[in-house]
Amino acid sequence: MPPQRGSRPRSLYRIVWGGKRGHWGLFLPDDDHDLTHGLLVHIGVESDKGPGGSSRGKENHTLMFEPIDVGHSRGAITRIKGALATTEMLQEAANATFTEGGGYNYVYNNCQHFCLNLIKKLHQLYPTLVTREAVADAQSNATAVTVASNAVKAIIQRSGRALYSRSGKK
């Protein structure tokens, strides 16, 4: 699938808050020569707040597309080698990845898994713009738990058994 006309592919970046084990997202700058503004794609949390802002304890993990000023975010950005994307490509692949991923699970389907799976989806859809090197680069920066749980999830999915339901329970 070629990118839409009028969109120029730009370098894709990983953005991390809180170190390697922290929150991950993908950042697509508005311009390759100005890495301060762009689009942040990540799994965010919408809390169910009661009257007066008190938490009811329910959280809804959702796919978020947000404009971001990296200079004010305190997140660390790193270019993903071999990954170019347009806004349209990133949105299409992110929606597919989120839909196919099932519900959020802290161990088996968290923000790192989402970012890794999104890079894989982009490679599947646009292999000349998001190369195998991009997939390897993203995997090399994930925690061992994320890489191992993705491997276990792939084995279970190939066997035809469900790993977890949308509620996060087996």
> In this predicted structure, what is the pLDDT of residue 78?
92
**Per-domain residue ranges of the chain:** 10-159
Can you tell me the mean pLDDT for 121-133?
97
Can you tell me the mean pLDDT for 14-35?
88
For the chain, what is the radius of gyration of the CA atoms?
16
- Dihedral, CA of residue 100, residue 124, residue 92 and residue 147, to nearest 10: 50
**Helices 111-125, 144-159: inter-axial angle, 10-degree rounding:** 60
* pLDDT digits 0-9 by tens, 92-104: 999 999 998 877 8
CA atoms of 59 and 44, how far apart (whole Å): 10
Q: How high is the mean pLDDT of the chain? A: 81
The secondary structure of 48-67 as a DSSP string is EE-GGG-EEEEEEEEEEEEE
pLDDT for residue 2 is more than 80: no
168 vs 82: which has the higher pLDDT = 82
Neighbour-count burial of 6, counting CB atoms closer than 10 A to its CB (0-12 exposed, 13-18 middle, 19+ buried): exposed
Can you tell me the mean pLDDT for 135-151?
75
> In this predicted structure, what is the pLDDT of residue 153?
65
Query: pTM of the entire structure?
Result: 0.78
Reported residue count of the chain is 170
> In this predicted structure, what is the pLDDT of residue 58?
58
Segment among 33-42, 50-59, 89-98, 137-146 with least mean pLDDT: 50-59
